[in-house]
Structures are given as C-alpha cells and as structure tokens.
Chain A
Amino acid sequence: MSKNPEFVKFDKVDKSYDGKVLVVKDLQLDIAEGEFITMLGPSGSGKTTCLMMLAGFETPTHGEILLDGNIISNIPPHKRGIGMVFQNYALFPHMTVYENLAFPLRVRKVEKDEIDKKVDKALSMVSLNGFETRMPAQLSGGQQQRVAVARALVFDPSVVLMDEPLGALDKNLRESMQYEIKHIHESIGVTVVYVTHDQSEALTMSNRIAVFNDGKVQQLSDPAELYEKPVNSFVAEFIGENNTFNGEVSDIDKDKCKVRLAEAEILANPISVKSIGEKTTVSLRPERALINPSDKMDNMFTGKVEEVIYHGDHTRVRLNLLGSSEFILKVPNSTSNLELKVSQDIKIGWNSQDARALDPK
C-alpha cells in the first residue's frame, strides 16, 4: 500500500469567527497517511480551530479541506468517519465503558458479535480489559483517557484527532500516556492529528510538528529539526529554552555573520538576515554554551555568575554576560563537577553555527 502524502490537505484555508479577525490565515498543510502530526502553539493560535474544521464542527471561511482527495467542507461531522479524542474525554457519563465503545459501532449498525469483538480488541489495545461494565465516573483520569482513545479508534477511522487529550492528567501519568499513544499509533498506523500547547509532548510523540502562532504555521518539520534549527525567533522561543541577544548585523558572509550588541560583537549563523544593518535576534540553546571550553570555539566571553539553581540532574546557572543578566547555562550533573559560586567570573564559549541570527523580536 503506497502512502498518500496528501491524505489530509488544508488548501488555502482561512477562518474568521466575527468577520474582523482571521483566526486561521491562509493555512496550507499536507498530512501524509499514517503520520503523527502535532499542531503546537500557544492558546489562541488557531490550532484547535484547525482541528475543529477538520472534524466538521467549524466551517472554513475560505479554502477547502480535502480528505483522501475528496473535499469534505460540506460533509457533516457524523459522515466524515474521523475519530476524535476530546480535551475532557467527553465520555458519555450515563453509559458503561462497553456502551461508550459500542456507540460508534451501533450507530453504524454493526452486528452484535462484531461489536463485542471490536470493543474487546480496542480495550485490550489500551489494556483495560475487564472494565466493560464500569461507568466513566468510576474510572481514574488516566483510565478515562484510555477509554476515550479506544472509543476514537474502535470504528477503524482513517484519521484520529486528539485535542489536548493529556491536559488534565498529572505529570507522570501524562508521560506514560504519551508513550502509550505513540505505541498505539505505531502499531495500527492510523493518521493522527494531535493538538497540544505542551512542547515536550509534541517533541516526544510526533513525526512532524506544525508550530502555530497568530493563525499561521510558523514552522513545519520533524522534532529534531524544530529544536535544532528553528526558523524564526518565535519558534526558537516557544520550543525549549533559549538565550537571546538583540543586535544589528555588522558584517555578513555565506555561513557566518557578525552581530553588534550594545557592548560587544558576536559571531552567528545567518538564518533570516540578508544584509548589513539589519536588526536581528540571535538565539542560542543553553546546552550549546560551555564553561571553560577546551577546543577552540569562535565565540569566547567572560561572564559573572548571578545565580546557581540545583535541578537534580543538571544545574542551571544564570550569568551576566554581554550586558544581559538573563543568560542561562545548563551544567550536567557529572562527576567532574565544577564548583560554581555566585559572583565568580567564568569563561563561556560556543560555536557560531549554534547561534542562529533570526528575525528581530
């Protein structure tokens, strides 16, 4: 079976609720068959609206949504055959777990034996066998979550939408559920469109991530690229931690540029700057800056330790460096532990390739 790279297609989709503000602007997004794609973004960025348009609960103001080559904008939600896991699970509180799972099959007039088989299979997929007769209220949050996932999958939909399904769970449970959902996706190969505002959730689960802001997709790429190579300062800021320097390009080469800050000049990797004199925000991941760098790095500066915060597996050090007192360093908790003290001067270095000169903030 050849995978359709345009299984779900948003074609120039606009959405406005009040005719004044566009919540989604000119969205162009292709989702491949069997892919796990995450829409990531702060609240109000339009990601949930996209999901609702795909599910059929909202209609695009302009543009078309295609599912497997067919325009679905005029198909009502119950005929789209798209499974959905809701933020608060939306389990039917007056039905047992079995009845909840049987609901999509019963409305499709599936035979009783077949229903039993499918429900059983779906429940074993989320390891909840034996819970058939329980009411949703008798289940824990994590169990309700699994039932919701099983219910969205039980009728073998081609696409499953998940709208922040783990938002209400505590941290440990959320992490284990992340892996569980990922494994279910891998084992049955269904296309998943996942919405979240939690970047670590997006990074661990997805094949590709679409970062939304202000109604637009800022970057669409796989998790590693998103983290390592953010294309603009919003993405850099939103995904992971980030040290920033605001300055002006004073010299530019093919793969290197000089950025003049208030007190010094640093070397950076020109991503979205083209010419001398442009304003830019340079982004550097905290773990890419090293203390007392051994090999030759092309950026070397001295900073003063402002604060040392112990985090168990690593220590965060806040430095006053190049006129900014918000420079963060992550020092892994290894045996060659450094004795860092407040107001001590230390040497910091990083490669210019890791310092990405992006659009100004």
Chain B
Amino acid sequence: MSSETKQILTTDGIPLEVSLKKAEKKNKIKAFLLVAPLLFFLFITYVFPIGEMFTRSVDDKMITNMLPKTFKAMEKWDGKELPPEEVFAGFYLDYKVLIENQTQGKLGQRLNKEKNGFNSITKKLMRQIKRNKIDESQSIKEQIMKVHKRWRNVEYWQAIKRTAPPYTMAKYLKGMDMYYAADGSIAQVDEDRRIHRILWLRTLEIALFVTIFCFLMGYPIAHLLATLPMKYSNLLMICVLLPFWTSLLVRTASWMILLQQQGVVNDFFVMIGLVADDNRPEMMYNKVGTYVAMTQILLPFMVLPLYSVMKTISPSLMRAGKSLGGTPFVAFWKVYFPLTIPGIGAGCLLVFILAIGYYITPALVGGASGTLISNQIAYHMKTTLDWSFASAMGLMLLSGVLVIYWIYNKLVGVDNIKLG
C-alpha cells in the first residue's frame, strides 16, 4: 500500500487545493463584509469597554505623574528609616509645582485614602510653602519635618512610596475585603467591615436558588408546552412570553404591589386566616422579595431552551420505554430526562449568569438584605464615583462568570448546550 498522497490537479494543471481556495476566496470576502459591521459594533461596544474597564480598575498613575521627582529619589531609599534629604527635596519641588497648578488638593485626598491624616499635613505644608516659610538653601528635610510631627513618621513616607507604581491591584483586594498593609503585605479588613464578601456570597446564593426555582417551575411548563396540542401550547407559549413583552420595571413594580405588607398577597393570607392582621409577614425589601421577583422574571430563560430541546424528543421514545417494560417513572428518568440535559444545561447557565449580574429587581424589591453585588457596583458608579473600584468589581464578576462557564464546560460540555 503506498502511503504517498498524490496531488490532484484540475484540468488546467493547477493544484486542486489552490483552485478551490481561489474559488472560495470571493465568497469568504463577501461573508466577512456581511459580518464586518457587527464585528465593528461588537468591538466598539464590548471589547473596547472591557479593555477600558480593565485599565481603569488597575490604573494608579495619578500620583505617579504628580510626584515624579519624589519617586525618582525614592528609588534609592530602602523604606525602613526616614528617607534621605533628596526625597524630601524632591517632594518639596513636586508639591510646589502642584500648588502653582492648584492641583495639590487631589494629592492630599488620594494620599489620605492610603493613610489617614495625610490631608491635614499636606494642607499645613501648603500653607508654609505659600507663605514662603521654606528656605530652599537650608535642609528641606529638617524644615518639612518641623511642619508637623507626622512628617517625621516613617509610615507616611512608606505610604507615599506604595503609591509609586502606576498600576495597583488595591481595588481588587478591596473587592475581596482585603488591603495592602503598611509593610506591603496583603491583610484582611476588620471582621465588622467585610461587606463585599457577604455580598459576593449572597449573590452566588441568590443566583443559585433562583436557578433551582426556575428549573423546578420551568421543567413541567416546558414539558407541557412541548407535548400539548398546538392550539393549547400556543396559548401557553404566549403566557410564558407575555412577561417578556412587559417592561422589566413594570413587572418589578407589580411585584411590589403584590408583596408589600398591605399588599394583595398579604391581604389574601389575612383573609383566609393564614396570618393575623397585625402580624403580616414581610415579603419585600428582603431576600424573599428578590427570590420571588427574580424567579418570575428569569423563568422564560429557563423555559425556552428546555422547550426547544423537548420539542425535538419524539413521543415514541417514552412509549418505547413503557412498552419495553419501564414504569412511567423509569421511562421518564432513564429515557426522557437524559435527553433534556442539553436544555437543562443551557437554561441553568443562562438563568444563573443573568441572575448573578441582576440589578434593577434586587435594587427595587431587595431592601438591605436582598441587594446583590451589582447594586454595589452601581452604588460606586453613581454615588461614590469610585469608577475604578466599580470597574474592578465588574471585572471580578465577569471573570466569575467565565469560571462558571469553564466549570460547566468541564462537567457537561459546551457542545451539549442547546439554546434553540
């Protein structure tokens, strides 16, 4: 048997592969041009913002740019004792430039975040410089140290040195309730101030339970949709899709009307005597509200992939299972259920990923105990204006989703997903 592969030529003597490539080239260009606008759009609206988010989340160039001479002098300083004269001189010159540009305030605020008490001592130094109290012919180190006793504290200089690198992971650490300690090591914040970790865990917990609830409710609905005769299944399909066609805000607001303490559901409970009138349970502004509203809102995302998979399962398979001797449950469990796994995977992944980044509904019905990490991100975007922290948490959320996707791929295999 000869193992050599003979090159096939066309009738003109051109190798077949070359000829094929030539023939396909035009089609390929056409295809590319058709998707080019979308590709461009995706780049502008997706790739570029994520890149921007990343740079913003690690960006720490402000001080680096403000104190060039200081950091240059600090390169030789070991950071253990008080810095030498050159560092003080560099800082003094840098600071003078900032005062001339009237941007010295930002430096004080930024350094204050690094170490409490910076704002007042930089202001004090500014006043001295403005009154020309600093004599440049004498030792600047001695004169600055006299401005306030904190300038004599090595910790403050260490804090400045820590801000030297143009990039920092501090925002990410903050997202996990950690920070850089004075000596540069990573430390945990005090136990009573660890809010982010609670939020992350709560986000995961709520997303997980919402996924489970959606699955438990969506599976029978999808099965019914797939097996009912056309005229009923169409009606049911409209019922499933109706929430899709209603504004998210309206749906959330109607849950507020239903769930509040004087709301419809509570009134009903009181009417049938389930609860006392003066002891109405709180179903909103807590986790319950978030669970109920999010499950309802995300249900279609579970039903539709399940339905699309179940629709393709021939009813004769269940019949075969039964005719071969399986009880209805065995036929379901051994035959029907395994075939719906691609739909379950797709639905659960979809609902979980949507739930993990959900914002409006928890913000409106969640109250204090029902808010998620996305609400925290929004808070930093809108209220504290700490965009770099918001970016860092956004990216952490994104990488969390990617990790889940990776785990899912390992367990079930992404090829098994069927979205429709």
Instruction: Report Cα–Cα, A107/B320, bound state, in Å.
Output: 13
CB within 8 Å of B: which of A230-277? none
A-contacting 9-mer, from B166-174, B192-200, B311-319: B311-319
Kindly identify which residue among B316, B317, B325, B331 contacts A108, using a CB–CB cutoff of 8 Å.
B325
Task: Find the residue from A84, A107, A152 having the highest chain B CB count within 10 A.
Answer: A107
Q: Which residue from chain A places its CB closest to the CB of B341 in the assembled complex? A: A94
Chain B residues near A (Cβ < 8 Å): 314, 316-317, 319-328, 330-331, 334-335, 338-339
Bound state CA distance, A86 and B320, in angstroms? 8
Query: In whole angstroms, how far apart are the Cα atoms of A38 and B85 in the complex?
Result: 108
Chain A contacts for B323, CB-based, 8 A: 55-57, 77-78, 80, 82-84, 161
Q: How far is the CB of B229 from chain A (nearest CB, A)?
A: 11
Known interface pairs A88-B316, A94-B339; A103-B322 also in contact (CB < 8 Å)? no
Question: How far is B330's CA from A55's CA once the two chains are assembled, in angstroms?
Answer: 18
In the complex, whether A44 has a CB less than 8 A from a CB of chain B is no
Picked from A87, A93, A104, the residue with its CB within 8 Å of the CB of B325 is A104
Residues of A within 8 A of B335 (CB): 92
User: With contacts A90-B316, A92-B320, A103-B321 known, is A78 near B339, CB below 8 A?
Assistant: no
Chain A residues engaging chain B, CB cutoff 8 angstroms:
55-57, 76-84, 86-88, 90-94, 103-104, 107-108, 151-152, 155, 161
Contacts of A57 in B (CB 8 A): 319, 322-323
Pick the contact of B319 from A77, A81, A108, A151 — CB < 8 Å?
A77
Closest-by-CB residue of B relative to A105 is: B325
- Provide the residues of chain B in CB contact with A76, threshold 8 Å: 322, 328
Q: Which residue of chain B is the closest to A52 with respect to CB atoms?
A: B319
Residue numbers in A under 8 Å from B314 (CB-CB): 88, 90
Q: Check B334–A78 contact: CB distance below 8 A.
A: no
What CA separation (Å) do A79 and B319 show in the bound complex? 13
28 contacts between A and B (CB under 8 A): A55-B319, A55-B323, A57-B323, A77-B322, A78-B322, A78-B325, A78-B326, A78-B327, A81-B325, A84-B320, A86-B316, A87-B316, A90-B317, A92-B317, A92-B320, A92-B334, A93-B339, A103-B321, A103-B324, A104-B324, A104-B326, A107-B324, A107-B325, A107-B326, A151-B324, A152-B324, A155-B324, A161-B323
A84-B323, A90-B316 provided; 19 other pairs, C-beta below 8 A?
A: A57-B319, A77-B322, A77-B323, A79-B325, A80-B323, A81-B325, A84-B319, A88-B314, A90-B314, A90-B317, A92-B317, A92-B335, A103-B326, A104-B324, A104-B326, A107-B326, A107-B327, A108-B325, A161-B323
With the chains together, A152 CA to B330 CA distance in Å? 17
In the complex, chain B residues whose CB is within 8 Å of the CB of A87: 316
Closest to B327 in A: A78
Per the bound structure, the CA–CA distance linking A103 and B316 in Å amounts to 15
Closest to B320 in A: A90
Q: How far is the CA of A102 from the CA of B335 in the complex (A)?
A: 13
Contacts of A88 in B (CB 8 A): 314, 316
Query: Which of B326, B331, B338 has the most A CB atoms < 10 Å from its CB?
Result: B326
Hey, which chain B residues are within 8 Å of A79, CB to CB?
325
**Are A90 and B319 closer than 8 Å at their CB atoms?**
yes
Q: Are A103 and B334 in contact (CB under 8 A)?
A: yes
Tell me, in angstroms, the Cα distance from A76 to B321 when the chains sit together.
12
Q: Which residues of B contact A155 (CB under 8 A)?
A: 324-325
Main SS class of interface, B: helix
CB distance from A29 to the nearest CB of B (A): 20
Task: State A91–B316 Cα separation when bound (angstroms).
Answer: 9
Q: How far is the CA of A87 from the CA of B315 in the complex (A)?
A: 12
Q: How far is the CB of A34 from chain B (nearest CB, A)?
A: 20
Nearest first, the 4 closest Cβ-Cβ pairs linking A and B are A104-B324, A90-B320, A90-B316, A84-B323
Q: What residues on A are CB-neighbors of B321 within 8 Å?
A: 92, 103
B26 CB to nearest A CB, Å: 35
Closest Cβ of chain A: how far from B190's Cβ, in Å?
53
Nearest CB of B to A118, in Å: 13
Q: Which residue of A lies closest to B324 (CB)?
A: A104
Given the interface contacts A88-B314, A92-B317, does A83 sit within 8 Å of B338 by beta carbon? Answer: no
Q: Which residue of A lies closest to B317 (CB)?
A: A90
Interface centre among A93, A103, A155 (most CB of B within 10 A): A103
Q: Within 8 Å CB of A91, what residues of B?
A: 320
Chain A residues, Cβ within 8 Å of B320: 84, 86, 90-92
Q: How far is the CA of A108 from the CA of B324 in the complex (A)?
A: 9
Q: Report the separation of the CA atoms of residues A108 and B327 in the bound assembly, to the nearest whole angstrom.
A: 10
Chain B residues whose CB sits within 8 angstroms of the CB of A94 once the complex forms: 338-339
* Distance (whole angstroms) from the CB of B361 to the closest CB of chain A: 37
Closest A-chain residue to B331, C-beta based? Answer: A78
Q: With a CB–CB cut-off of 8 A, which chain B residues contact A83?
A: 323-324
A108 to B326, CA, bound (A): 8
> Among B319, B320, B321, B338, which residue has the most Cβ atoms of chain A within 10 A?
B320
Contacts of A56 in B (CB 8 A): 322-323
Query: Which residues of A sit under 8 angstroms from B330, Cβ to Cβ?
Result: 107
Of all chain B residues, which has the CB nearest A55? Answer: B323
Docked pose: A359 CA to B330 CA in angstroms: 52
Shortest B110–chain A CB gap in Å is: 60
A164 → B minimal CB distance (Å): 12
Closest to B313 in A: A93
CB neighbours (8 Å) of B319 from chain A are 55, 57, 77, 84, 86, 90
Please, how many angstroms separate the alpha-carbon atoms of A155 and B325 in the complex? 9
Q: Which residues of B contact A77 (CB under 8 A)?
A: 319, 322-323
Bound together, the chains give a CA A84 to CA B324 distance in angstroms of 8
Chain B residues lying within 8 Å of A152, measured Cβ to Cβ, are: 324
Separation of A88 and B314 alpha carbons in the complex (Å): 9
A90–B326 Cα distance when bound, in Å, is 14
User: What is the distance, in angstroms, from B56's C-beta to the closest C-beta of chain A?
Assistant: 47
The docked-state distance in angstroms from the alpha carbon of A104 to that of B320 is 10
Q: Which residue of B lies closest to A82 (CB)?
A: B323
- A90 nearest CB across to chain B (Å): 4
Residue of A whose beta carbon sits closest to that of B336: A92
Q: Quote the shortest CB–CB distance from A252 to chain B (angstroms).
A: 51
A149 to chain B: closest CB distance in Å? 13
B327: chain A residues within 8 A (beta carbon): 78, 107
B417 to chain A, nearest CB (A): 16
Residue of B with least CB distance to A99: B334
Contacts of B317 in A (CB 8 A): 90, 92
Bound: A104/B328 CA distance, A: 13
Q: Which of A82, A83, A93, A152 has the most CB of B within 10 A?
A: A93
A81 to chain B, nearest CB (A): 7
Structural contact, B328 and A78, CB atoms closer than 8 A: yes
A287 to B374, CA, bound (A): 84
A92 CB contacts on chain B under 8 angstroms: 317, 320-321, 334-335
Closest beta carbon of chain A to B355's beta carbon, Å: 29
A246 vs B323: C-alpha distance in the bound complex, in angstroms?
A: 47
Closest to A163 in B: B316
Q: Give bound CA distance, A82 to B327, whole Å.
A: 14
Docked Cα-Cα span, A93 to B309, in Å, equals: 14
Q: B322 contacts which chain A residues (CB < 8 A)? A: 56-57, 76-78
